[in-house]
Amino acid sequence: MYDDQNSEGGPKGTYETYKAEGDNLYKQGEYRKAIESYNTALELKPTDRNCLVSRSKCYLQLGETQKAYEDAEASLVDDKDFHKGLFQKAEALYSMGNFEMALVFYHRGHKLRPELQEFRLGIQKAQEAIDNSVGSKDQSKLTKEGDLSFFAKQDEKKSKKPTFGYAKPAVQKQQAAKREPKGASGSEKTEKQLLGELYGDKQFLEKLLKEYDSNTQRGKEINNLVINCLDYLSDRREFWRQQKPIYARQSEKRKVMGGAVGQSKSNYNQYIIKELEKIDEAQANGRFEESLRMSNKCLKTVEGWSDDAVSNRHEVLANLYSAMGNAYLEMAQFEKSLQYHQKDLDIANKHDTEHLKSRALDNLGRVYARSGKFQDAVNVWTEKLPMSKSALESTWLFHEIGRCYLEMGKFEEAKDNGEKSMAAAEEAQDNVWKLNASVLIAQAEVKLGSYESAQEAFERSLDMAKLQGDTAAENAIKKALEDVNAKIVNGLKGESETEQTEEAAPAEQSQEEAEPAAEDSKPTPSDAEAADEEYSEDEVEEEEEVEEEEEEDN
């Protein structure tokens, strides 16, 4: 936290700084401090939906579900289809025990972003929590057998006439003041399994409750605090009992194995959800080889099941193939990655499942692009475009297609897709993808030789990077902008030299034309000789005339 953030005049840093600080604190598990940073960031941008979602996550980690729900709801005010807000709202509702409404919002998010696995897992866990709360049809059958004395006692109470009498005020006061914690549900063994490490805390609180006299003022205060804690543990125990498949599984006597006799669909689903969560966690933490081993093991198990065992068996297989393809991609084993993503696509085509097909095409495009097969990547991403469910998904697709065209030297196509990506990013109001699209347009303009247009695009990109606090992008754009400016300067120098050359050419031509004229004014050698000859003849004639005159005088 910055020392001056709460000083007079409000926050001194930028929104991006406080948001990034909050994100780092959240990753470190410092949820309270993260909330403080998010609060400061929201002072600068009160309606920023991403920051509201981040703060909601912190509240959820601290068990403050109502505040988590309120932030998630606030993030959806301007855009009801904001997928991060929908997911966070579903998570908050789930944690509040409202599984039915959580399921509604998981489904809504899944419809908008079918390629995101968290929505699919959310649907499965919410559905299972509902099943555990309500019970299966077999468990809910009513029979005439058993002890029906309870109903007889209820009838007796109704038939009794109310009695009126006087009770001592002191007794009434004492009875009103006495408060008991909520009772246990089930056996002690079950309670231990549900509460886990918190069971020791429960025992300590119960012991503490007996040690203090509730008739004293201090005893009353301690009594109320302890009972509040016990009630909270009781509520959480009941909540965990309902959603047992996710957080508090009891150790089953029969392991979930393919073909096991008497196995229920619920147990199969429990196994699938648990394994998929483990695989996702391993990949999120970069443990791709481990995730591959878990995927292979789970795949062999599921392949041994019949279609009757799990209603969506084909979708489970597709999810596993997709996870294995992603693991191989991160391990740079492109051929194997293509093989498993193609299996995912084959299942999607066979069962005509659009969201599976969209995911498979997405992943195939990423493999082709990473392996340098840019035209193949363009082909599959172009096929995926009509399946896009949101502007955010479209902006990513147009950008990646444009990048491939840029790599192939098709700069006009790259620019066109960059502009489409920018339009979709503006519709989605996503600043990160606006920046990416703007940079792509600028790079295409450079390749087309439109340096001034590229300069404008890079300057817009630089402003976006500064606003987002993306230092790495800012530095890269500055360098690209310097290169473009240098090319513009070099181009201007070249034009200036060309103009000077063109101006010098007519002067040289006029000089060349002037030189022959001067030469024409000069006497040629033949003219000079002719003049000499004429001069010599006149001289001879004069000499002859002089001689004749002298002879006449004589």
Last residue of a domain, one of 333, 351, 386: 386
pLDDT band at residue 538 using 50, 70 and 90 as cut-offs: low
On whether residue 97 sits in a domain, the answer given is: yes
Domain-embedded: residue 533 = no
Output the pLDDT for position 488. 81
Q: How many other CB atoms are found less than 10 A from the CB of residue 278?
A: 15
Tokens representing 248? 């508090």
CATH number for 476: 1.25.40.10
Q: How confident is the model at residue 194 (pLDDT cuts 50, 70, 90)?
A: low
Determine the pLDDT at residue 531.
44
Flag whether 28 is in a domain. Answer: yes
Query: Are 482 and 420 members of one domain?
Result: yes
List, for residues 61-109, the tens digit of each pLDDT value.
998 999 999 999 999 998 888 999 999 999 999 998 888 889 989 988 8
Higher pLDDT, 312 or 293: 293
Q: Are residues 392 and 377 in the same domain?
A: no
Given 386, 401, 432, the domain boundary residue is: 386
Q: Return mean pLDDT, the chain.
A: 76
Query: Would you say residue 84 lies in a domain?
Result: yes
Residues 74 and 127 grouped into a single domain: yes
Alpha helices in 430-523 (DSSP H): 431-448, 451-468, 471-521
For residues 440 and 406, the answer to whether their CB atoms sit within 8 Å is yes
CA-atom Rg of the chain in angstroms: 43
> 284 and 272, same structural domain?
yes
Which DSSP symbol is given to 409?
A: T
Among 339, 370, 386, where does a domain finish?
386
pLDDT (0 to 100) of residue 380: 93
Residues 352 and 462 in one domain: no
Q: Is residue 543 part of a domain?
A: no
Alpha-carbon distance values, 461 to 257, 435, 458, 495 (Å): 55, 6, 5, 29
Q: Are 52 and 81 in a shared domain? A: yes
Q: Check pLDDT > 70 for residue 404.
A: yes
Q: Which residue range forms the structural domain that includes residue 40?
A: 15-134
Q: Kindly state whether residues 303 and 401 are assigned to the same domain.
A: no
Q: Please report the pLDDT score of residue 413 as a whole number.
A: 94
Could you tell me if 394 and 447 lie in one domain?
Answer: yes
Cβ within 8 Å of residue 157, ≥6 positions away: none
Cβ atoms of residues 117 and 362 within 8 Å: no
pLDDT at 390: 82
Closest CA to 75 of 47, 101, 94: 47
Tell whether 10 is covered by a domain: no
With respect to residue 288, please indicate whether it lies within any of the assigned structural domains. yes
Condensed to tens digits (0 to 9), the pLDDT of residues 21-67 reads: 999 899 888 999 999 999 999 999 998 999 999 999 999 999 899 99
pLDDT band at 8, cuts 50/70/90? very low
Q: Report if residue 9 sits inside a domain.
A: no
Q: Region 256-277: what's the mean pLDDT?
A: 62
pTM for this predicted structure? 0.49
Instruction: Look up residue 522 and give its amino acid.
Output: K
Q: Cα(167)–Cα(163) distance, rounded to whole angstroms?
A: 12
User: Could you tell me if 381 and 343 lie in one domain?
Assistant: yes
Closest to 239 in 3D by CA, of 105, 382, 98: 98
- Domain match, 120 and 58 both: yes
Percentage of residues in the chain having pLDDT higher than 90 = 29
Contact 40, 71 (CB under 8 A): no
Comparing C-alpha atoms, which of 321, 277, 330 is closest to residue 299? 321
Same domain, 410 and 380: no
Number of domains, the chain: 4
pLDDT of res. 265: 56
Whether residue 202 is found in the same domain as residue 278: no
